Structure 1
Amino acid sequence: MRITGYRTLTTVQDWGRPIGDANGVYADGLVRIPIVIVETDIGITGVGLGPHVEIEKVFSAIEGEDPRGVTALYDRMLRRMFKAGHTGAVFGTIGALDTALWDIKAQAAGEPLWRLLGGRDRRVPAYASGLDIALADDELVALYQTYAERGLRAAKLKGGLDIERDRHRLALVRDVLTDAGHGTRPGLMLDVNETWTRKQAVRHIGELERTLDLTWIEEPVRRWDADGHATVGRGIRASVASGENLTGLEQFRPLIAAGAIDIVQTGAGWGVTHFLRVSALAHAHDLPVSPIGTTPVGLLHAATAVPNHLVSELQDLRPPCGVTIDLHVEDGAYLLGDHPGLGIRVDEEAIATTVRRLPDPLSGGSHIRPERAGHRLS
């Protein structure tokens, strides 16, 4: 079996409501979802969700190769791009191709990827994450009631701009999840997406912890700031979670070595091989891992095969337009199916009809860092 080509598509995730975080909001709730399809000479195709940046150059490292040699091909892609820099969106392209290769390998073996990787249990514990900073109180409550109906008993809210507003919103969601769990204490997390300085983080979380029990605070300071994460961790009771925007083991190593993070996160767009390697590094330091992403299907399969998976993020309950996935959510967890590979099916005709709805990548949203981030007095 040989890799013969690839195709790229872009669909949309239609949330049907505003979504965003401390950095900005997508008012129309539409987010671009890039897709890579890898083709082989025997007709098996693999699907990866992730960027297309520099894809011709990255793909040249694997063209004509046997896709079943996934981990060696992953390193081959990294080597091909090391001068240009295999980080950021380029790392996402490598991750998308890597995920597609794992999909092909599992399909060729006639097994779901979770089984091929050595997973025993198809159940992957989840927490609710509504990208909810723009919602009014009644909208917030209604949203998390929907998650609670699926059995989720932990939630991560977006915040970081106003202490009292965060306290109020966290309490609303706490009450929703407590009622759904018949009094069981829920897990509460706050994600501020790198919007604070070290002092702001300790002050803000310290104030919240006077009345709330937080499981973790996510990305309290800039993603690469090992000393800053460690400082925050020493000043609060909650765990510190970070890593979704780190690319490559070399970026994780300083934070883990400094004891700066308690929950090691990996972004779904960076690929399966990356997640497996980060999980092994974290496991060597007795740290749990937690996948992050809108559609983290590749990492959900991989999570079944690592001993230190804690919980995975569940954002929208619907997949991107034109995409179907062999999984469902019940009793607070993703339940993976038995379809060989990742279980992703792409309807290219349906995706073609979404072109007119694709948001302008240069328009505002949470992907643009505000000018005053980290420079507010309150």
Structure 2
Amino acid sequence: MKITGYRTLTAQHEWRRAIGDANGHIPDAVTDVPIVILETDAGIEGVGIGSHADLARLFPAIEGEDPRSVSALFDRMLAQVFKSSHAGATYGGIATLDSAIWDLKAKAAGEPLWRMLGGRDRFVPGYASGLDIALPDDDLHAFYGQYADRGYVAGKLKGGLDLTTDLRRLGIMRDALAAHTDAPGLMIDSNESWQVKQAVRYVSAIEQHFDLVWVEEPLRRWDAAGHARLSDAIRAAVATGENLTGVEQFRPLFEAGAPDIVQAGSIWGVTHFQRLSFAAAVRDLPVSIVGHNANPAVVHVATAVPNHLTTEVQALDYAPGVHVDQEVVDGGIVLGDEPGAGIRIDEAAIAAAREGAGWTNPAGPHMRPARAGLRMLLDGIER
């Protein structure tokens, strides 16, 4: 079996709510879902979700190759862009092709990806995440309530701008998730919006009221020394890493003793999460997948590594035309038995559902505010 070509599609996910974080938000959010379909001479097609970045430059590294050599093909793609670097958006293209290759490998074997990777238990623990900074309080409670109805006992709040607001909303989230436990797991994510001392003061104040499981991305993603200082100063675990593109970018954080929980964005693919998990396991650190809905193939890896903690679930459905053989139940994700990653694409349904250009606001939470990390917030107002 040889890889012969690829084609791209873009589905649209309607969130039916505002989504965002400390950097901004998108009202009535509709986001693009980039899809890559790898073609083979055997007629089997592999599906990858995540990014269309640099595909034309990367594809020569895998064209004509046997997709069953998936780990070697991942390294060939890294080598293909050696001089210009695989970091940043390019890594998204690598990871999406990688996920499609893993899909091909498992389909060729007639097995679900989780079993191909060596998993035994198809259940993956998860937590609810509303991307919820712009949700009114009633909608916030309703969002986490629907996850509680599916057995979820932990959730992550987007915050970091106003302590009084975050304390109130952490309480709302806790109450909504209390259906199955007296002590729901609470996390807060500031999306790189603090400096070290801001983070220490802010989190310490929260910890007077709530026992946080972790604080996520409190500082800039590369600030290894700062994360280590923060971890020493607070009770909560420090979780970071979702925006690091390549396992080697974690080296300074590991050497500084910075992360308590090692995170990987699902958009960076199957091999990335697999290799990162083993690197973290050597250091007795747990790993967590961020943004499962952005690439549901990656969660298969969680069944086959020794240190997966929990996975972020942001939505209960997928874009029209994207069918995923997984269930969000029992406080986690139950993987199905369809061969490959269990992702089926209905190209006609995707085309029929498309409206407009996709992103209603291409900036939103993806553009860092000019004063991020420099805000002097007093009584909820920047002074």
Q: TM-score, structure 2 length as denominator?
A: 0.96
Correspondence for 2:17? 17
**Secondary structure of the corresponding residue to residue 365 of structure 2:** coil
How many residue pairs end up in the alignment?
376
**1-side partners of 2:343 and 2:176: how far apart?**
33
Correspondence for 2:262? 264
Structure 2: which amino acid aligns with 1:78? L
Correspondence for 1:200? 198
**2-side partners of 1:22 and 1:30: how far apart?**
19
Structure 1: which amino acid aligns with 2:18? P
Correspondence for 2:106? 106
**Secondary structure of the corresponding residue to residue 212 of structure 2:** coil
| CA positional deviation for 1:89 | 1.1
**2-side partners of 1:295 and 1:55: how far apart?**
18
Structure 1: which amino acid aligns with 2:153? R
Correspondence for 1:239? 237
Correspondence for 1:366? 365
Q: More displaced, 261-270 or 359-368?
A: 359-368
C-alpha contact 1:12 1:358 (8 A) present in aligned 2: no
**Secondary structure of the corresponding residue to residue 310 of structure 1:** strand
**1-side partners of 2:312 and 2:194: how far apart?**
22
**1-side partners of 2:207 and 2:101: how far apart?**
44
Structure 1: which amino acid aligns with 2:14? D
**Secondary structure of the corresponding residue to residue 339 of structure 2:** coil
**2-side partners of 1:196 and 1:33: how far apart?**
30
Determine whether 1:338 maps to 2:337: yes
Determine whether 1:251 maps to 2:249: yes
Correspondence for 2:91? 91
**2-side partners of 1:369 and 1:45: how far apart?**
38
**Secondary structure of the corresponding residue to residue 308 of structure 2:** coil
**1-side partners of 2:205 and 2:148: how far apart?**
27
Correspondence for 1:310? 309
Correspondence for 1:8? 8
Correspondence for 1:328? 327
The aligned runs of 1:121-160 (5 Å cut-off) are: 121-160=121-160
C-alpha contact 2:30 2:359 (8 A) present in aligned 1: no
Correspondence for 2:177? 177
C-alpha contact 1:21 1:193 (8 A) present in aligned 2: yes
C-alpha contact 2:30 2:360 (8 A) present in aligned 1: no
**1-side partners of 2:357 and 2:295: how far apart?**
21
C-alpha contact 1:167 1:208 (8 A) present in aligned 2: yes
Structure 1: which amino acid aligns with 2:63? E
**Secondary structure of the corresponding residue to residue 12 of structure 1:** strand
| CA positional deviation for 1:346 | 0.6
Give per-residue Cα distances to partners, 1:137-162, cap 9 Å, x unaligned.
Answer: 11111111001001000000100100
Q: 1:135 to 1:360 in 2, by over 3 A?
A: closer
Structure 1: which amino acid aligns with 2:259? I
**1-side partners of 2:156 and 2:36: how far apart?**
29
| CA positional deviation for 1:357 | 3.6
**2-side partners of 1:9 and 1:296: how far apart?**
14
| CA positional deviation for 1:195 | 0.7
**2-side partners of 1:52 and 1:301: how far apart?**
22
Correspondence for 2:380? none
**2-side partners of 1:346 and 1:89: how far apart?**
24
**1-side partners of 2:374 and 2:349: how far apart?**
44
Q: 1:320 to 1:62 in 2, by over 3 A?
A: same
**2-side partners of 1:51 and 1:300: how far apart?**
17
Give per-residue Cα distances to partners, 1:99-146, cap 9 Å, x unaligned.
Answer: 000000000000000001100000000000010100111111111100
| CA positional deviation for 1:300 | 1.1
**1-side partners of 2:195 and 2:360: how far apart?**
28
Gaps of 5+ in 1: none
Correspondence for 1:212? 210
| CA positional deviation for 1:361 | 8.1
C-alpha contact 1:191 1:220 (8 A) present in aligned 2: yes
Structure 2: which amino acid aligns with 1:234? D
**1-side partners of 2:118 and 2:186: how far apart?**
31
Q: 1:175 to 1:360 in 2, by over 3 A?
A: closer
C-alpha contact 2:269 2:295 (8 A) present in aligned 1: no
Q: 1:279 to 1:163 in 2, by over 3 A?
A: same
**2-side partners of 1:253 and 1:170: how far apart?**
33
Structure 2: which amino acid aligns with 1:335? V
Q: More displaced, 3-12 or 361-370?
A: 361-370
**1-side partners of 2:295 and 2:163: how far apart?**
30
| CA positional deviation for 1:360 | 4.5
Aligned-pair identity in percent equals: 58
Structure 1: which amino acid aligns with 2:163? I
**2-side partners of 1:218 and 1:296: how far apart?**
20
| CA positional deviation for 1:362 | 6.9
**1-side partners of 2:88 and 2:205: how far apart?**
34
**Secondary structure of the corresponding residue to residue 32 of structure 1:** strand
| CA positional deviation for 1:12 | 1.4
**Secondary structure of the corresponding residue to residue 273 of structure 1:** helix
**Secondary structure of the corresponding residue to residue 311 of structure 1:** strand
Correspondence for 1:279? 277
Structure 1: which amino acid aligns with 2:310? V
C-alpha contact 1:30 1:359 (8 A) present in aligned 2: yes
